[in-house]
Structure 1
């Protein structure tokens, strides 16, 4: 039975599912046997296999997958305690799963935190923009600001927690989390901003610099906003108004001015 348990865990990890949600045909294929042979060896039903998996210290599931429960639990813990306060023990307790299950699905704490960040970061919105790019430079810049602003404000507030940890501990878990998603993020942003650079609408700055100029003011504002709101009250612009201010400032900073009538430089 041990080799069948290992095959079930391997198939569950490959598919990102609980063992209970993995079809027997997939487990049999991983074990290199036929489905009928698998059924014969486990006594005609998967009950014995699930029991063996549980005896090995892994929750076979049957509820929402361990991956989903763990990501949700870890996200709430990050919002409550910050990255430093999230342990696999705490996540296992909140998600009602075992430590071996978390290690099997995420390969450790960094893998879990990276999955949480990807779920709640701007990446899903950026991928949607890349699939259907906005028209024009201004539309692209506004859509990017809106995507990042939505991610920064999204509850639970994972993105601000990650950046706050990064500022406090440059070599901490936040740096490792960002190292996983940053290459994909930069590739998408290069795909959205690069055509405008090549067309002469944006200054030919390196993509990381263009991104820093875009994100810097917005990130600083989001991190400071919880402090500014009680102090300034109604004097603080709404988030939508703030995004528009930053869109205008970004275009003034990096857009190449259009030629004005008579050949003189005009505005962006």
Structure 2
């Protein structure tokens, strides 16, 4: 029986088939780090597989459940019950996706993760620390960091790739990124949103701002204040994906596909800020 057939035979219905190279990468990472597979970060597995974190998540259907199933199908124990940290992050993500940041109290997370509140403090230090860990796992920021560090295409290719990456991140289930984005816009002064904003805003300014500054210095983008450029770049696709997930089924049928959306927003951004706008 082939490796793929073996994987299919041992994979529950609804879970994507995982390429054997990813299983091998997970096992190597676990051995090198001296951890159970369940305790190895997704980023470490992606590094061993020679791909980005976002690419790995895309191949796994948005979560690592398929990978853990594939490892178990090889007869390897992934570590039994997931550790408190993993269970808490999964529980918080579902609570936020379903009911917003305000629903992710430590009591609610502990109840859903089948652990105690003190164990959450041990794992994360505070609720703020837990929310930051959730954001790191589910927001597009880490993917954007990787993408902008590695991309070598021209301006149009880079902007389009960035929009595609963000669209994929906002579509991934549980839909944590759009829920956090919506809460931050609706209640920026709330106790729940403040730690998130104070944590992410400087990182966005650094990651995206540095790239935009480089484009200005290279003469590809007009010298516009960087905070305004960041808003011009990220707000349209972020708002679109937020609204896309909340419309009725009938209204969704009238929306353009995501590829077309990325095409249109790329063209719009370049016409607004590029020193050499696209030719019609």
* TM-score relative to the length of structure 2: 0.66
Superposition pairs of residues 184-223 of structure 1, within 5 angstroms: 184-223=203-242
Query: CA distance change for structure 1 residues 227 and 87 in 2, over 3 Å: closer, same or farther?
Result: closer
- Gap change, CA 1:62 and 1:218, over 3 Å in 2: same
In 2, Cα distance between the equivalents of 1:168 and 1:121? 18
1:100 Cα offset (Å): 0.8
The question of 1:247 aligning with 2:266 is answered: yes
Q: How many residues align?
A: 205
- The C-alpha deviation readout for 1:169-222, integer Å capped at 9, x for no partner, is 111212321321232232221232222111111011222211100122112212
Aligned to 1:235, the other structure's residue is in SS state coil
Q: Hey, what does 2:196 align to over in structure 1?
A: 177
CA–CA distance in structure 2, aligned partners of residues 227 and 105 of structure 1: 33
Unaligned runs of 5+ in 1: 1-14, 22-60, 259-265
Gaps of 5+ in 2: 1-32, 40-78
Report the secondary structure of 2:132's partner residue: helix
CA contact (8 A) 1:137 1:201 kept: yes
Contact 1:82 1:161 in 2 (8 A): yes
Aligned equivalents of 1:129, 1:226: Cα separation in 2: 24
1:75 equivalenced with 2:124 (yes/no): no
The answer on whether the counterparts of 1:122 and 1:151 sit within 8 Å (CA) in structure 2 is yes
Per the alignment, do residues 227 and 105 of structure 1 end up closer, same or farther by CA in structure 2, a change over 3 Å counting? closer
In 1, the alpha carbon distance for the partners of 2:175 and 2:265 equals: 21
Pick from 101, 105, 118: which aligns with 1:87? Answer: 105
1:238 to 257, 260, 263: 257
Higher Cα radius of gyration: 1
Q: Deviations over 1:93-138 (max 9, x none)?
A: 2112211111122122222111111110012211221331231111
User: CA, structure 1 residues 67+227, in 2 after alignment: closer, same or farther (shift >3 Å)?
Assistant: closer
Which has the larger displacement, 113-122 or 218-227? 218-227
Cα distance in 2, alignment partners of residues 267 and 201 from structure 1: 15
Name the counterpart of 2:152. Answer: 134
- Structure 2 residue matching 1:205: 3-state secondary structure: coil
Superposition RMSD on alpha carbons, in Å?
Answer: 2.5
- Give 2:133's match in structure 1, choosing from 108, 115, 133: 115
